[in-house]
């Protein structure tokens, strides 16, 4: 904790409560320092103007433990910022959560002596406590997964490795998996020193290299599975390319759309010495499997009827992949979770801007993809100049009297749409564009009728899920080259779209306050800008409606990332 030059200790900003909630005062001098510490082991619950609420959970502590943070360090950090004595219940809970991590270890026979060949058909599970071993043996959940061979040891079939880890974390005992990985078919991936696209010098930034090192861990038994959390625009794709070079094996990359798939291919060709013949696309357009193969979640989970098997899911185990990369891992569909449980001997890298899942399956990501390896705060990268400084503004727009009457009589779900499509928002969009005349703009909305009308009124191209891939590429290219003032986009542009010159976004409607969506939409603006390196992110919300309630979710996410969030009334903006 820093000490000011006058020698006086600033007021401590944290109040620790016995129910594991932590109240952090925003206006205290040590707020930011304390916030950065809390993000290592606690989750933000809500973030109104003056006091933010965090909560310590088993998963938040397990992620901290996986990152090498001990319980004593967590407690010391809490104590250093706490205004009052830390309740004993909090001390006990943190100690207990931390103690549960790693008490169970999955490994291969010590006599095997290697961790980088296919694990044998039988693995070992060991625990440090006979009573815990008794508990596992008596729990019917583990009947088909474990066979006890001694007081604290069990035999595990390698094919059940992932299913066992999932069952263990749900039982509250996350396993330390050091059984190692298969090398897969070798593939040398050499990084270029200059971009093929524009000739600019290229090398991994320090934080990108640290992320690669944290994931790979010098090839050790714990290196090779985990999640890297970086803001959009910070170069998660570059981290993945660095991981490919470190692993040196054939790679399967799964992403969110065909557009994203092709942008991945272009980036790999630009930054590595791989050629186009080494890169395959497994999509609706073609199904080519090559040393580096790119596919989409939609492709792998496609089936003609709900009662049919997934036709393409076996691509995950199609050949000897040395590495599988899950882009936007927070969107991983349930069938791919299941398939991933069966391929735990493959190295797995998850990439995301936020580990928040709207289905609350963050623990499944921890168990099956791996723990969080790196989580660099957006504001930290902003200070270093690697991402643009974002100004986040919410404008509350009243409904007309007629629409307010319709809103009050409508069912709840219909109310949200009425509020989202408030026609008065169009006037604000015009006003915002006039205020920022030289900034490339994205107008983002959820409902097709709304974005179609806005595009016509503004005289801007419209991009939706129906836009052909070739037309999307043409529009993206024109936008990047400055030939378009802006684009009106549906949620198709939320994920993995390379729009590096966007400096202004106006969000006219969104998915029920989704924090995932907020991360992606804000991320469209964060690539560094020439000059002032600033971006502006506006959200238009109908006042005194459900939409305003859901906007609190988005506000919480932005505050978690350290952004100031200003709120204006449309009549005074």
For 250-300, the pLDDT digits (tens) are: 999 999 888 789 889 999 999 999 999 999 999 988 999 999 999 999 999
Q: Which residue has the higher pLDDT, 114 or 389?
A: 389
Residue pair 86/107 in contact (Cβ under 8 Å)? The answer is no
Q: What is the pLDDT of residue 526?
A: 66
Question: Whole-angstrom Cα distance, residue 563 to residue 549?
Answer: 19
Query: Which two tokens mark 244?
Result: 């490919």
DSSP string, 99-139: HHTTSEEEE--GGG--SSSPPPSEEEEEES-HHHHHHHHH-
Q: C-alpha angle 434/539/514, rounded to 5°?
A: 150
Residue pair 401/381 in contact (Cβ under 8 Å)? The answer is no
How many angstroms separate the CA atoms of 75 and 90, rounded?
9
Average pLDDT over residues 474-490: 88
Percent of the chain with pLDDT over 90: 53
123 DSSP β-pair partners: 156
- Global pTM reads 0.79
Confidence at 499, pLDDT banded by 50, 70, 90: low
Q: How far is CA 428 from the centre of its chain?
A: 31
pLDDT for res 502:
79
What does the alpha-carbon distance between residue 204 and residue 219 come to, in Å, rounded to a whole number? 19
Q: How far is residue 77 CA from its own chain's centroid?
A: 25
Query: pLDDT at position 423, please?
Result: 96
* Distant-in-sequence, close-in-space partners of 327: CB < 8 Å, separation ≥ 6: 236, 240, 253, 254, 255, 256, 260, 264, 351, 496
- Give the residue-averaged pLDDT of 464-471: 84
Domains of the chain are 14-100 (no CATH), 116-177 (no CATH), 206-376 (3.40.50.300), 382-569 (3.40.50.300)
CA-based nearest residue to 295, from 309, 317, 280, 310 = 280
Flag whether pLDDT at 4 surpasses 80: no
- At 496 the pLDDT is 46
Contact, 253 vs 264, CB < 8 A?
yes
The proportion of the chain whose per-residue pLDDT surpasses 70, expressed as a percent, equals 87
Residue 83, CA distances (Å) to 78, 184, 314, 385, 515 in order? 10, 53, 55, 34, 31
Strand extents, DSSP E, 276-322: 279-282, 292-296
Q: What is the mean pLDDT of residues 174-192?
A: 92
Strands 389-397 and 441-444: unpaired
> Which range is least confidently modeled, 61-70, 342-351, 473-482, 511-520?
511-520
Q: What is the mean pLDDT of the chain?
A: 87
Residues 217-246: what's their mean pLDDT? 84
The answer to whether the CB of 25 falls within 8 A of the CB of 31 is: yes
DSSP of 39-97, one letter per residue?
TTT-EEEE--SSEEEEE--HHHHHHHHHTT--HHHHHHHHHHHBSSPPPHHHHHHHHHH
pLDDT of residue 231: 78
Residue, of 492 and 331, whose pLDDT is higher = 331
Q: What is the mean pLDDT of residues 140-158?
A: 95
With bands split at pLDDT 50, 70 and 90, how would you rate the model's confidence at 159? very high
Q: How far apart are CA 6 and CA 8, in angstroms?
A: 6
Sign, Cα dihedral of 93, 98, 100, 103 = negative
101 or 330: which carries more pLDDT confidence? 101
Residue-level pLDDT at 200: 85
- Above 80 in pLDDT, residue 124? yes
Residues in Cβ contact with 92 at an 8 Å cutoff, skipping those fewer than 6 apart: none
Pairing of strands 122-127, 153-157: antiparallel
- Contact present, 463 and 490 (Cβ < 8 Å): yes
Mean pLDDT of 127-150: 95
* Range of lowest pLDDT (116-130, 302-316, 451-465, 524-538): 524-538
Q: Which of 363, 365, 368, 359 is nearest to 340 (CA)?
A: 368
pLDDT score, position 203: 93
Whole-number Å distance between alpha carbons of 360 and 223? 26
Overall average pLDDT of the 449-469 stretch? 92
112 pLDDT more than 50? yes
């Amino acid at each position: 904790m820093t000490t000011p030059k006058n020698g006086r200790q600033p007021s401590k900003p944290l109040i620790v409560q016995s129910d594991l909630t932590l109240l952090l005062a925003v206006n205290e001098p040590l707020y930011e320092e304390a916030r950065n510490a809390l993000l290592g082991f606690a989750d933000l619950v809500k973030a109104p103007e003056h006091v933010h609420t965090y909560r310590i959970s088993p998963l938040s502590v397990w992620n901290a433990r996986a990152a090498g943070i001990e319980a004593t360090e967590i407690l010391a950090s809490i104590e250093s910022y706490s205004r009052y004595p830390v309740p004993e219940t909090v001390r006990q809970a943190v100690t207990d959560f931390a103690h549960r991590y790693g008490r169970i270890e999955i490994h291969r026979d010590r006599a095997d002596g290697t961790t980088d060949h296919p694990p044998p058909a039988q693995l070992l599970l060991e625990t440090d406590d006979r009573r815990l071993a008794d508990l596992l043996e008596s729990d019917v959940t583990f009947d088909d997964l474990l066979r006890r061979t001694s007081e604290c040891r069990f035999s595990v079939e390698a094919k059940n490795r992932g299913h066992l880890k999932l069952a263990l974390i749900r039982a509250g005992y996350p396993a330390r998996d050091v059984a190692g990985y298969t090398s897969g078919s070798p593939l040398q991936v050499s990084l270029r020193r200059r971009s093929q696209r524009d000739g600019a010098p290229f090398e991994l930034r320090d934080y990108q290299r640290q992320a690669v090192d944290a994931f790979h861990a010098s090839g050790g038994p714990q290196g090779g599975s985990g999640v890297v959390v970086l803001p959009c625009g910070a170069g998660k794709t570059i981290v993945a390319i660095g991981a490919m070079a470190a692993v040196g094996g054939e790679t399967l990359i799964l992403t969110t759309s065909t557009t994203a798939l092709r942008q991945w291919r272009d980036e790999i060709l630009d930054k590595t010495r791989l050629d186009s013949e080494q890169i395959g696309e497994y999509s609706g357009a073609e199904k080519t499997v090559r040393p580096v193969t790119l596919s989409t979640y939609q492709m792998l989970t496609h089936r003609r009827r709900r009662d049919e098997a997934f036709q393409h899911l076996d691509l995950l185990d199609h050949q000897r992949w040395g590495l599988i990369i899950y882009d936007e891992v927070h969107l991983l569909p349930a069938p791919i979770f299941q398939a991933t449980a069966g391929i735990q001997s493959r190295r797995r890298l998850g990439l995301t801007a936020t580990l928040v899942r709207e289905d609350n399956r963050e623990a499944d990501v921890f168990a099956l993809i791996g723990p969080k390896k790196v989580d660099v705060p957006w504001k930290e990268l902003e200070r270093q100049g690697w991402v643009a400084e974002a100004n986040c503004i919410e404008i509350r727009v009243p409904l007309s009297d007629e629409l307010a009457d319709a809103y009050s009589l409508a069912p709840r779900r219909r109310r949200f749409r009425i509020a989202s499509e408030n026609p008065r928002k169009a006037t604000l969009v015009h006003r915002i564009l006039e205020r920022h005349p030289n900034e490339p703009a994205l107008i983002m909305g959820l409902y097709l009728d709304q974005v179609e009308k806005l595009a016509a009124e503004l005289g801007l191209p419209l991009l939706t899920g129906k836009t052909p891939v070739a037309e999307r590429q043409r529009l993206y290219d024109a936008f990047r080259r400055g030939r378009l003032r802006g684009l009106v986009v549906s949620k198709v542009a939320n994920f993995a779209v390379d729009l590096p010159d966007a400096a202004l976004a106006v969000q006219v409607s969104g998915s029920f306050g989704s924090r995932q969506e907020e991360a992606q939409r804000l991320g469209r603006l964060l690539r560094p800008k020439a000059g002032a390196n600033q971006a502006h992110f506006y959200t238009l919300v109908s006042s005194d409606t459900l939409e305003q309630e859901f906007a609190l979710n988005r506000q919480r996410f932005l505050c978690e990332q350290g952004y100031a969030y200003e709120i204006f009334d449309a009549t005074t903006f």
